[in-house]
Structure formats: C-alpha cells, structure tokens
A and B are shown apart, each in its own frame.
Chain A
Amino acid sequence: MSATRTALDRVTRVPGVRGALVIAAADGLVVAEQLMDGVDGRAAAALTGSLVGRLARTAESAGLRPPAFVHLRGDAGSVLAAPGPDDLVLVAVVSPDANLGLARLEMIEAAERLI
C-alpha cells in the first residue's frame, strides 16, 4: 500500500488538486483515496473507471494503443486519469486554476510506480 500512498501524496501536493484516488478500473472501485470534502470518491471511481475502460476499447478498435493520460475538462474543474499497471488507475480531481502541466507530469510518473 505504500506505493499507492506515495502516489497520492505526490499528486495532492500539486496546487489546485482537490483530491486523488487509486481505483481498480474494471471494477470501478476505490483502492485508496485522499480527498477534500465535497469530492465523492465512490462516484469518481465508478465513472472514471468506466470512462477509462471505454476509451481503451475505443482506442483499441481504432488500432491505437490505450491512452496514457486522460483529461476530462468541465466548467468547474477537471478530472485527470493516468492508467498504471494491473488495471489500476490514478485519478485526480482538480479545480480550474490547477497547475495542469505539473499535475500531468506527477500523475504519469506516479502511476507507473503504483505497485
């Protein structure tokens, strides 16, 4: 579990990150989380797991490799996802003013070291 904790610490240190989770993508369940109040971890895990799975299948059917990073942008912020090994996905919920470049860098590196 220390690898997941380290990953969550790295991501939540980035300015503007409101929470981070490690999820099991196929099940859409939370493995570990560090969230600010108001972020629904279970919903984020279920929906992001589904999204990443669908994107991977879409990419595969188009003859592409599965995505290394997903950025879902909305009015009130973004959801970022970085798939890691063993079907694990590192997810971050960020506010609109977050440092997205740094968050992306930290997430991709941390996701590779999830186990």
Chain B
Amino acid sequence: MRALEPWVVQPLESFLAESAARLTLLMTSSGQVVAQHGFSRSLDVMTAAALGAGIVASTDELARLMGGATFEALVHHGQRQSCMLAAFSTPRGRWIGLVVFGPETSVGIVRLFFEQMIQQLAAAAPREQPAAPMLAENFETELDSSLKALFGR
C-alpha cells in the first residue's frame, strides 16, 4: 500500500481489512493518485485514476443535466470481479475512491466500510495543507538532462 500522506494510511488499511477489496485507489477529482493498494505498476495506477476520475466527472455532469444531485456511487458488476467508484468530500477537497472486489465480499460490505473510511479520513486529516517542495536552483538543468535521456537524445 502506498499513500501520499501518512494520515491516509490507517483509514485505508482498516477499509482494506474489513472490506476484503482486491484493489483500492484514492484520487483527487482531477485524477491525481492520493493512495493505492494492490496495483503493481505505478504508471498503471495513474491510468486507472485518470479513467476513474473521467467516469465520475461524466456521471456528475450527467446528473447535473438531469437536474438531480450527484450520484453517490457507481458500481460495475462483473462476472469475476466488480468495481465501485464513489466521490466524497474530505478536508483536502473532493476525492474519488475506486475499489475492485471479488465474490469473496459484496457491494454492500464494500460500501458500508467505504463510508466508514470516509468518516475516518475526515477525522484524521490535518488542518494545514502540505508544503510545496523546495526545488534546487539548478532544477532546469536536471529537467533538461532528464528529458533528453527520456527522449534518447
């Protein structure tokens, strides 16, 4: 499991233990990964987050067009595994959870403990915003050489 900030770890661990979810991804509404469990490749996590955030943004817009409140959760039932997407408020802004689970648990259990995690996250979030990183004065040189290496130049 990986989390951007340490206060996210305990609520997420407790959710994973109770819900028996296979994969869990917490992200901002713009698709930036905040925490994840179960993904092996970090670049795949980013793709899953981008797609999940896109789906939630679309359904929010759809709900708005239909004149209603936003959808609480979106569940895709599959044969072998299912997927739940749900947006929620945190002191750090609106986040989205993407949970993949199998027949060893149920959508009811996942939703129940997901809601518990939302409450725990709200209680655990520190008031102060995270600091910005200090980049070295010569970061442009590093950026240049990184990009050149990336492009094989």
Contacts and interface: CB of A to CB of B under 8 A. Distances in A.
B10 interface: no
B103 A46 contact: no
B92 to A, nearest CB: 26
Main secondary structure of the interface of A (DSSP, over half): helix
Interface residues of B, number: 8
A46 B105 CA distance: 9
Contacts of A43: 112
B103 to A, nearest CB: 7
B130 interface: no
B58 to A, nearest CB: 24
Contacts of B106: 25-29, 46, 49-50, 53
Nearest to A29: B108
10 contacts: A25-B106, A28-B108, A29-B106, A42-B111, A46-B106, A46-B108, A46-B112, A47-B112, A50-B108, A50-B109
Interface of A: 23, 25-29, 42-43, 45-47, 49-50, 53
Interface of B: 103, 105-109, 111-112
